[in-house]
Structure 1
C-alpha cells in the first residue's frame, strides 16, 4: 500500500514540473512573437536592411612587403699607400664633389727620388743620342745601341712608377656625396687598412626589397613602387631599376632595387620600409563591402535585393582590400547587395532598404 502511494506521489510531482515548464515555454514564445510582430509592424511588414548598388571602380592588385633603404653610393675612404698624413682638407658632415682633394700624405722622400730620377733620365737621353749617331755611322754595333736605349726606357718607367706613388698620396673624392665622421688627425701614420672616413651619396636613395619568386615575371624595370618608412607616415614614390635574375634558394624570393628622389634629404640608409608594388590594375572591378560576403560550405555568397525580396547568390571572389572584396563572378553592375541583417534574412524574405552604403 505504501509503495503504491509513493508511486502516485512521484508521478504527480513529475506532472507538476512538466506543466510548469510548458507554461514558461508558452510565455517565452508568446513574448518572442509579440516582439517580432512589433518589429514587423514598425517596418511595415518587412525587415529593415542597408545595401549597396554595384558599380565598376578602379582596383590595384598590390603586393605589400618590407624592405630597407640603402645609399646610392657608399665607400670607406682608404689610402693605397702608407705614409704620414700631411693635411686634411675635408670637414666632417660636409658635402664634397667628385675629384675634390680630401687629404695628402707626406711625400718628401718620393719627390727627392723623383728629382734624382729625372737627372738620371737626362743623362740616359744624352747617352742614347750619342749612341744613335755612332750607330748611323756604323761606329758601334746594334747591341751597344740597344743597351743605351733600354737604360733610357727604364729610367722613364721608374719616373712613371714614382709619379704614380706620389699621386696615390693625394686622396680625392671618387663621387659626389657627404663625408661622415673622421677617424684620423694630421700627423697620423696610415696604411691601406686604416679607417679614415666614409663617403655616402643618398640622392637618389635606393630601396631594396624581396618578392616571392612567382611574381618575378610581373615586375620589370621602370615599374613604380610606393613606400613608407619607420620615421614618417609620408608615402614616397620610387622606380624599379634592377631585378636580380635568380631566385634565392633559401627564401625562394627575388631581390629588387628601386630608386627614389631624396633631394630634400628626408630619407637615410638603414631605415626599414613598407613597400607597395602594383602587380595589376583593373579599371572596372566590381567591389562589395567585406561584411556583405558570407562564407559557406560551397564557397562564398551574397544576398541581393530584387523586388523587395532576398535572393541568395553564389559568387567567386578575387582581390581583397582593407574593407572590400572583388567579385569576379555572380553579380553584375547595378545589382543591389544587402550589407546588414545577414543573420536574420533568408531567401525570399521581405526586406526594406533603409540606407545605401
Structure 2
C-alpha cells in the first residue's frame, strides 16, 4: 500500500469518526428531557372580610346600679317636748297616708302662751272700740265685727285694715299689731308640735319612742315613698352624648329575673376625674321594688342613620379600619359614634366596603387575597 493510499485512508477514518461523534451528540440531545417551566408561587396572605351594610341602628348602653328612694326625707324636730302616743307607732316599716299624723310632741306650754296672747289681743281691741266709734267711724264696724267673731280657741284671723295712716298709728300705739304678730309666731310654732306625712310612704328609720324627751334639732327618723325609686348609674363620658332625658331603660333583677321599665330623668354635668364617667339617674316604679336593690339593664339610645356595627377589635389607630380594595389593604378613617365593651358603631363607609377582619401583620398597600 502506497503512502498516498494510507493518507487517504487516514482522512476517511477521521471523517467517519467525526461524523459518528456528531450523530451520537445529536442522539444524546434528543434523549434529554425538555427543561421544566417553574410555576410562580403566590405568597399573598388570605384575609377574611366583613361587608359594610349601613342601616338605622338604635344602640344600647349597659347599666347597673342600686335603687334609692326618690321621695325620701329625714325628719327632725323643730321644737322640744315629750313625744306623745299616736294611733300608729312610728316604727320602721309602718305605712302612713299623706297628711296622716306621724308624730305628736306635747305642746301644752306653747298652747298656754298662745291662748294668753290671744286673750291680751282681745282685751286691747275691746279697749279701743269706744274711741274708734267716735274718732274713726268708718272703721268702727269692721273692728266691732272682728271682736264679735274673735275666738280664743281658734286660729286668729287677719286684723281689719286701717283706713288711713292716722288710724294705723293709733292702732300700733295700743300694742295691737305687736300682740297680733306674737300670736301668729306662736301659731306657727304650735303647728310644729304635730308632724304629718308629706306623702304616702313608709318609715325607713325610727330613733325615738313615745314618752321620751325630744330636743329641738334632734333627728327622729326617715320616711320614704316605697313606690318610686331612683337608680344611680355611671356612664362612660364617650357615651353620654347619646343619652337624653326621657330615654327608656329596661331593668332586671338578676336574682328574681323580674323586670321594670325606667326613664332617664337626670344627667349630671360633672365628669368624675378619676373614672371619666358621668352619673345619670333613672326613675323606676312598680311592684316588688325595694330600696338597695341592684338592677341591671340597657338604655335604648336615639336612632343613628347610615351606621354600621362592627367588632371593637377591628378599630386600629383609634379611628381607622383596614379595608380591602383591588386586593390591597388600605386604611380608612371612620367616625366612631358609640363604643361598648365588644362593639363599635361607626359611620363614614359606603355600602359594600370590605373590612379586613385581620388587623395584625398587615399594613397599607399590602397585597392580599380574600
Question: What's the counterpart of residue 277 of structure 1?
Answer: 299
CA–CA separation in structure 2 for the residues paired with 1:66 and 1:145: 67
TM-score by length of 1: 0.60
Q: 1:188 to 1:230 in 2, by over 3 A?
A: farther
- Equivalent position SS for 2:175: helix
Question: Does the aligned pair in 1 maintain the 2:260–2:286 contact within 8 Å?
Answer: no
- Equivalent position SS for 1:205: strand
Uncovered stretches (5+) of structure 1, i.e. residues with no partner = 1-49, 304-310, 340-345, 350-357
- Structure with greater proportional strand content: 1
Post-superposition offset of 1:238: 1.6
Uncovered stretches (5+) of structure 2, i.e. residues with no partner = 1-47, 138-165, 358-366
Asked whether 1:158 is paired with 2:182, we answer: yes
Question: What's the counterpart of residue 30 of structure 2?
Answer: none
CA–CA separation in structure 1 for the residues paired with 2:321 and 2:346: 10
Question: Does the aligned pair in 2 maintain the 1:60–1:279 contact within 8 Å?
Answer: yes
Post-superposition offset of 1:275: 4.8
TM-score by length of 2: 0.58
Post-superposition offset of 1:188: 0.9
CA–CA separation in structure 2 for the residues paired with 1:327 and 1:90: 60
Asked whether 1:211 is paired with 2:235, we answer: yes
CA–CA separation in structure 1 for the residues paired with 2:172 and 2:351: 96
Aligned residue pair count: 282
Question: What's the counterpart of residue 23 of structure 2?
Answer: none
- The superposition leaves residues 249-268 of structure 1 with CA deviations (integer Å, 9 ceiling, x where unpaired) of 555443322212x2203242
CA–CA separation in structure 2 for the residues paired with 1:83 and 1:222: 46
Question: Does the aligned pair in 2 maintain the 1:89–1:103 contact within 8 Å?
Answer: no
- Residue 237 of structure 1 is aligned with which of 261, 280, 302? 261
CA–CA separation in structure 1 for the residues paired with 2:356 and 2:241: 39
Question: Does the aligned pair in 2 maintain the 1:315–1:331 contact within 8 Å?
Answer: no
Post-superposition offset of 1:81: 0.4
- Equivalent position SS for 2:269: coil
CA–CA separation in structure 2 for the residues paired with 1:76 and 1:232: 31
- Equivalent position SS for 1:102: strand
CA RMSD of aligned residues (A): 4.5
**What are the equivalent positions in structure 2 for 1:138-153 lying under 5 Å apart?**
146=170, 149-153=173-177
**What are the equivalent positions in structure 2 for 1:268-347 lying under 5 Å apart?**
268=291, 270-282=292-304, 332=351
**What are the equivalent positions in structure 2 for 1:1-357 lying under 5 Å apart?**
59-91=57-89, 92=91, 93-133=93-133, 135=135, 146=170, 149-229=173-253, 231-249=255-273, 251-260=275-284, 262-268=285-291, 270-282=292-304, 332=351
Question: Does the aligned pair in 2 maintain the 1:183–1:196 contact within 8 Å?
Answer: yes
**Bigger Rg, which one:** 2
Q: 1:68 to 1:312 in 2, by over 3 A?
A: farther
CA–CA separation in structure 2 for the residues paired with 1:143 and 1:279: 68
- Equivalent position SS for 2:245: coil
Question: Does the aligned pair in 2 maintain the 1:94–1:178 contact within 8 Å?
Answer: yes
Question: Does the aligned pair in 2 maintain the 1:224–1:277 contact within 8 Å?
Answer: yes
CA–CA separation in structure 1 for the residues paired with 2:270 and 2:179: 52
CA–CA separation in structure 2 for the residues paired with 1:198 and 1:336: 61
Question: What's the counterpart of residue 5 of structure 1?
Answer: none
Q: 1:51 to 1:255 in 2, by over 3 A?
A: closer
Question: Does the aligned pair in 2 maintain the 1:226–1:236 contact within 8 Å?
Answer: yes
Q: 1:101 to 1:62 in 2, by over 3 A?
A: same
Post-superposition offset of 1:194: 2.9
Post-superposition offset of 1:189: 0.6
Post-superposition offset of 1:85: 1.0
